[in-house]
Structure formats: C-alpha cells, structure tokens
Structure 1
Amino acid sequence: MEGFFQRYLSLYRPLISRLNDLMSTYELSYSLWQVIFYIKNNGPSTLIEIANQYNVEKPTITRRVQRLEDLQIVKQIPSTNKREKVIQLTELGDEIYQVCRIKITELENSVMEGIAKEDQMITFHTLPKIQENIMKGDGSKSE
C-alpha cells in the first residue's frame, strides 16, 4: 500500500505535540509519560525492562527516570540485584498518572470522533501487528 508511511507519519508529529501540550502542566512530555505509563501498568520496573519495551537505549531511559525523580514522580526502591535500578511511582506520580490518563482518554476520544467503532477496533488491533512486522529483524535501538 503505497503512501501508508506518509499518512502515518503525518499524524504522528501533531499527535505527539498535542500530548506534550496536554501534559505540560506537570512539566511532562510524551517520552516521560511512556515511563510513567509502563510503571503504572507493570509495577516496579528496571530501567532495562523499560528500555526494552520502547526499543531505546538504557541511557535514554536513565535520563528520563532522572527527570521524573527530580519531579518526585518516581523513586528508586531496593532491589535484590545491586546493579539493577528498580523504580516505582510515588504517590504524586500515581495522582499525576490518574489526571493525565483522563486527559489522554479525552484526546483519544476526540481524535477518533466520526470514525465508526468497528474501524477504530480494526485500527487498534492492526497497529501492533504493523509494529511487530517492523521490529522483525530490526535489532537496532533509537534515542
């Protein structure tokens, strides 16, 4: 399907900009939100687990986590392996997650306005399959 990537990329940047604006009240960006979202949905996590989830290098996640620690949204907790840094959301982090989750859901609903529920579900289930196909044979990680 020629032109698919162009269509996808043409909506990616504006969507990220909208998400960044939405979270700016809390000094967050979408890249920081990814860490919060992962921890909220997976519990206390290592930097490696988060880096692997988003296919980025560990130093990238380290910088994001440091920023979230500065904002008192995450904190380091004791680990059985001294070489691994395990982080979890703070109480403030959990509160911010709840507020941002509502705002993001409202944004999701508004951008899907006028699109049939069936089409929404098809897209929802198709995108992970596309991601899987892209990731096949791609061992590289990005910043």
Structure 2
Amino acid sequence: MEGFFQRYLSLYRSLITTLNELLSTYELSYSLWQVIFYIKNNGPSTLVDISNKYNVEKPTITRRVHRLEELQIVKQIPGKDRREKIIQLTELGEKIYLECRKKINDLENSVMEGIKKEEQKAAFHILPKIQENLLIREGNKSE
C-alpha cells in the first residue's frame, strides 16, 4: 500500500510531540517515559533488558536512567553481579507513572474518538506484526 509509511511517520511525529508536551509537566519526555513504562510493566530490570526491548544502545538507556535518577523516579538496587545495574521505580516514580498513565489513557481515548472498536483492535494488532516483519527483514540482512 503506497504511502503507508508516510502516513504512519506523520502520525508518529505528531503523537510524540503531543506526548512530550503532556509529559513535560513532570520534566519527562517520551524517551524517558519508555523506561518508566518498561520497569512498571516488567518489574525491576537491567539496562540491557530495557535497551533490548526498545532496540536502543545501552549508553542511551544509561543516560535516560541517570536523568530519571536525578528526578528521583528510579533507583538502582543490588543485583547478583556488582556490574549488573538493576533499576526499579521509587515511590515518587510509581506516583508519577499513575498520573501520566491516566493522562495518556485520556489522550488515547480522545484520539480514538469516532473510530470503531473493531478498527482500533485491528490497528492495535497490525502494528506489532509490521514491527516483527521489520525485525525479520533486518535479521535476514545480517546473514
């Protein structure tokens, strides 16, 4: 379907801008939110876990985690190995997660207004399949 990527990228940019504005109240950006969201949904996690999930280099995640530590949203806890950094949300981080999650839910509901539930579900299931196809394609390139 010609033009699909253009439409998607146009939506993506607009959505990220809107999310960044929404999160700015908490001195957060969408990239910082991704770390919070991952930890909230997966429990205490390593930097490697988070970087693998978002396909981002570990130093990038390290910088994000340092910023979240400065904001007292996450903290490091001891792991099995001294070199392994395990990150978890603080009480403040839990509170901020809940506040932001509500605002993001409200945003999701408002932008889905007028779109049938079946269409919403279809989009929800199609996007991860596209991502999976891209990952498979990248894997085939490296062989």
TM-score > 0.5, shorter chain as reference: yes
Match of 2:136 in 1: 136
Counterpart mapping for 1:12-91 below 5 A: 12-91=12-91
Displacement of 1:137 after TM fit?
3.7
CA RMSD of aligned residues (A): 0.7
Distance 2:136 2:70 in 1: 36
Aligned residues: 139
The one-letter amino acid paired with 1:5 is: F
Distance 1:122 1:13 in 2: 21
Say which SS state the counterpart of residue 49 (structure 2) adopts.
helix
Distance 2:134 2:25 in 1: 34
Say which SS state the counterpart of residue 138 (structure 2) adopts.
coil
Match of 1:100 in 2: 100
Distance 2:12 2:26 in 1: 22
- Percent sequence identity is 76
Displacement of 1:42 after TM fit?
0.2
Unaligned runs of 5+ in 2: none
Distance 1:19 1:58 in 2: 23
Distance 1:83 1:135 in 2: 29
Task: Describe the superposition over 1:54-74 as per-residue Cα deviations: whole angstroms up to 9, x where unpaired.
Answer: 000000000000000000000
Match of 1:110 in 2: 110
Task: Describe the superposition over 1:120-140 as per-residue Cα deviations: whole angstroms up to 9, x where unpaired.
Answer: 00000111000100111426x
> What TM-score do the two structures reach when normalised by structure 1?
0.96
Unaligned runs of 5+ in 1: none
